[in-house]
Amino acid sequence: MDKKKQIRLILVAIFWIVIYFITKIQKFESVKNPYFMATIYAVFIGHIFYEGIYKKKKIEHKKNEIKANHLAELKNKKSDLTPKINNEDLPTELIEFIPIFKKWGIDNKILKKDLYENAKHSELFELKSIENKRDIIEKWIKNSSYDNPNISKALNLTLESYDELGLWTWETKN
């Protein structure tokens, strides 16, 4: 807990302790002191509003702003996170899928989530096109995982994306 929060909590605790003792000393009855009672209610409700509603929204806004900035930074560095796959690295049956492997084979949870959320139907149908070659992909991953671990990981992540998005349930385009 940071210093500002500790100080604020101490001040709030002191305030409510003082209010408690004032009411005890005066043998407080709300009928005899309606203004004092209204003040206590107003301050208490104001405090609840500030802590529970206003401040919570402010914190959520700040979190969203931080996430957006972090996502923007990651998108700028996306070329560093994109797997390097060449035609020579894969069998001829899989060469046509290199752009799909590069796009969906990213090993970053934040970028992956953003990709999932912003993917268009056409992009998802492109990913679905690997369905017919899944056996070849899995066999290649199994046989080449020691020779090309980064490419194997990219292909594995692409298959993972296919599974997580539930594309096997989609009907193919005619």
Q: Which DSSP string do the residues of 50-108 spell out, in sequence order? A: IIIIIHHHHHHHHHHHHHHHHHHHHHHTHHHHS----GGGS-GGGGGGHHHHHHH----
pLDDT at 173: 56
pLDDT at 172: 64
Q: Please give the DSSP secondary-structure letter assigned to residue 136.
A: H
| CA–CA gap between residue 126 and residue 132 (Å, rounded) | 12
- Using 70 as the pLDDT threshold, list the residues of the chain that sit under it: 1, 27-30, 145-146, 172-174
Sign of torsion over alpha carbons 90, 92, 94, 96: positive
pLDDT at 1: 63
Provide the residue type at 47 as one letter: H
Q: Say how many C-beta atoms besides its own lie within 10 A of residue 18's C-beta.
A: 10
| CA–CA gap between residue 44 and residue 57 (Å, rounded) | 19
Q: Please give the DSSP secondary-structure letter assigned to residue 148.
A: -
Calculate the alpha carbon distances from 125 to 40, 92, 110, 120, 170 in Å: 61, 21, 22, 9, 9
Q: Confirm whether pTM is higher than 0.85.
A: no
| CA–CA gap between residue 142 and residue 66 (Å, rounded) | 39
pLDDT at 28: 65
pLDDT at 16: 78
Provide the residue type at 92 as one letter: T
